[in-house]
Structure 1
C-alpha cells in the first residue's frame, strides 16, 4: 500500500478540496447517531457499492438501529467501537447474553481474531445453590435461580472446587480485553470482546490521517487517499517536524563551520592558533564523520506494546503525549516502549523513528541491537 510522501501530504493538507472520487462515493455511514462510524474496510449492506467494503466486512443495521457484524458460524454481534488505526473492534451480544454465544465461539472462517484470549470453564450447578451463589457470581442470563445456576471461571482453584459439586459444561477461549485480565472468582462474562484483523492492512494509512480503499473496481490492491481538512494529522505533524528539523540542523553545521574558518584566519599568525581552534572544536563538538544507522526491524518488533486504558496511565509517570508526533495519548491506542529507558511512544511513530535514528527521542539512550548472524564462508 502506498503512503503519500511528506511534501504531497502537506500539499493536500493545504488544499482540502483535493478529495478523490472514490472517497466521495465511499463516504462514512452510521446506523444512527451514537453508533460507530462505518467506512472501509467495513460497509453497511445496501448503503454503498461493493468496492466500498472488503470481503467479510459487511455490517447491517437491525430494527433497533444497532450496528451488527454477521460472522459465519457464529451469527450477528453488536459493534460497540472500531479503532481503524489499530485495526481492532469491540463487539457484544445484541440480546445481552454474551456467555451463551461464547459456548459456540468460532472465528476460524472469519477475517477476525482475538487480540488476547483467556480460557474459561463453564459449570452447571443444581445442588448447594445458596452457598455457591454467596461465594461465586452466577451468569444471570443462563441461570434459573430456583433450579440451577451456571458459573464460568478462569481460576484453576475455582475450577477444582466447582468440578467436585457441579456438572462440567465446556471450556472455551474467550477474547478478553487485556492479557493482564485475571479473576479469582467466577464471572458473568459480560464485557465486550476485543477482536482484530490483519487484512486489509489499512492501519498505517489511517494513523497518518489518510483513507484506505481499492485502487480500482477490478482489483483488491489497496491505496491510501486524502487527508482530513480539519486540523493537522499526526503524520502531517511528523512530516513538518522532519522538514523543519533537518534544514535547521544543516544550518547549524554551516554556522559552526563559518565560525571555525573565521577563527583560523584571525589567528593564522599567532603562536596559539592551533590551540584556539582545537579548543573551540572541543567546545562545540567535532563534525560527525559518519552517520548513525538505525535499528533493524527484528529489534524494533521485539519492543513491548501496551494498549492504553481509559485512565491513560503509562509505566513512566507524567507521560501524556507522544514526543514524536506531539499528540496526546488516547484510550485504546497502542504504544511501544524502549526497554533500555522505558520511554513510550505511539507504536507507528517509534516504528518510523528507530530505523532512521538509533536512539530514544527523549533521552537519546541507544537501544541494543539484536546480534547479527555471521556470514558463512563458501567453499
Structure 2
C-alpha cells in the first residue's frame, strides 16, 4: 500500500512539473553554435535546429563551420553575431573576414527588423605616413604598402590630417551612446530590434514565445509557469504543487499508520481465536489429560484474592515490556491499573477474575492456576 502511494506521489509531482513549464520550452531549447557563441533563443532561431515556431520572422541565424552564429541582413550581407542582449534587445555584429572597416564604406545596416540606435560620423584617411604615433587609430586591413588608412571621429585631428597629404572621406556608422557599449567601429557595430518587444518579460525573469500554433502574438512564459510577465506571486499550479507536497506526505503517514493498526488487529485477533479454540475445543490429547484429571469449573473468589497483584506505574511500565496488552480484553495497559498473575502471565485483575470464575486455567498457557 505504501509503495502504491509513493508511486502515485511521483506521478503527480512529475505531472505538476511538466504542466508548470511552458510547452514551448520543451521543443525550443537554447542553441549554441560554438563554445564562445551567444545563446540562440526566441525571437532568434537556429536554422535547421529549431522549428519555425521557435523564432520570429527575419530572426533566423545559421551556424557556420567555425562555430559562429551568422545573421543575414538585406542584400545577402552576412555578419557574425558576437553578442545578443535579450533584455535590452540589441545585437553586436562583426565581419566574418575581420575587416568591418571595409564594409562600413558602402553598407546600409538599417532594415525592416534591425536598426541603429544612433549614427556617428567617422573620418577615414588614406595617408602616405603612419599617424599611429599621434594616437590616431590605424586600420590594418585597409592599409597597403606605403599607404596607411586611419580612422577617427569626424572633426578630430583635422589639422594633422591636412598636413599629412591624406585623402579623407566621412561615413555614417551605427553606434551605441556611451556608456552602454564601447565605440570601436572597426571591431563591431550594434543594432537593435523593437518588434517583438520582450523587454519587460526578460526583466521579470520570463521567456518570450509565440502563442498557440498560428499567428505571431507573443506571450511571456516565466519561471513561475504562468503566461504573465508582470504578474507577482505564485501561480495556481505552484500553489497546487505546494498543497500536494504537504498533503501527500500526510497521506502516506496516515496510510502507514492505518496499515500498522490493521496488522496489529489481525495479529491480536488471531491470538484470541487460538485461545478461544484451545478453551472451547482442545484437540491435543496431552493437554486434555490435565483438564480431565483436575476438573474444576472455577476458582473461589477467596482463593483468587491470594494471587499476586501488581499496579502499573505512572510511566506505564509493565513487568513484561513485550507484552503490554491484556489477552482477555485486548486493551493496552494504562498507568495505575491493577494486574494479577499466578503463572507468569499478566492480565487485568478484573478480567482474569471473571475468567477464572468460569475456567480455572490460564488463558495463555492453559496452566491450572487454581492448583498452584
TM-score calculated relative to the size of structure 1: 0.50
Kept in 1, the 8 Å contact 2:43–2:54? The answer is yes
Kept in 1, the 8 Å contact 2:121–2:154? The answer is no
The two structures, once aligned, show a CA RMSD in angstroms of 3.3
Q: Does 1:90 align with 2:92?
A: yes
Query: What residue is the counterpart of 1:200 in the other structure?
Result: 196
Closer, same or farther in 2 for the Cα pair 1:208/1:130, shift >3 Å? closer
Closer, same or farther in 2 for the Cα pair 1:178/1:24, shift >3 Å? same
Query: What residue is the counterpart of 2:35 in the other structure?
Result: 33
- Listed as ranges, the gaps of 5+ residues in structure 2 are 1-15, 235-372
For residue 239 of structure 1, the aligned residue among 232, 237, 257 is 232
Q: Does 1:149 align with 2:148?
A: yes
Q: How does 1:355-374 map to 2 (within 5 A)?
A: none
SS at match of 1:73: helix
After superposition, the C-alpha distances for 1:99-141 in whole angstroms (9 at most, x for unaligned) are 1121123123241122233210112223xx1567656332111
Kept in 2, the 8 Å contact 1:116–1:179? The answer is no
Q: CA deviation at 1:43?
A: 0.7
Matches of 2:116 and 2:168, distance apart in 1: 22
Matches of 1:154 and 1:131, distance apart in 2: 15
For residue 79 of structure 1, the aligned residue among 67, 78, 81 is 81
After superposition, the C-alpha distances for 1:71-112 in whole angstroms (9 at most, x for unaligned) are 113611111221111111222112211111211231232411
After superposition, the C-alpha distances for 1:245-290 in whole angstroms (9 at most, x for unaligned) are xxxxxxxxxxxxxxxxxxxxxxxxxxxxxxxxxxxxxxxxxxxxxx
Q: CA deviation at 1:58?
A: 0.7
Query: What residue is the counterpart of 2:54 in the other structure?
Result: 52
Which structure exhibits the higher relative contact order, with contacts defined as CA atoms closer than 8 Å and separated by 6 or more residues? 1
Matches of 1:140 and 1:228, distance apart in 2: 51
Matches of 1:227 and 1:43, distance apart in 2: 21
TM-score calculated relative to the size of structure 2: 0.51
SS at match of 2:96: coil
SS at match of 2:141: helix
SS at match of 1:156: coil
Kept in 1, the 8 Å contact 2:211–2:219? The answer is yes
- Listed as ranges, the gaps of 5+ residues in structure 1 are 1-13, 230-234, 242-379
Matches of 2:34 and 2:156, distance apart in 1: 45
Query: What residue is the counterpart of 1:224 in the other structure?
Result: 220
Structure whose alpha-carbon radius of gyration is higher: 2
Structure with greater proportional helix content: 2
Query: What residue is the counterpart of 1:159 in the other structure?
Result: 158
Matches of 2:179 and 2:202, distance apart in 1: 28
Query: What residue is the counterpart of 2:137 in the other structure?
Result: 137
Matches of 1:37 and 1:104, distance apart in 2: 30
Kept in 1, the 8 Å contact 2:154–2:170? The answer is no
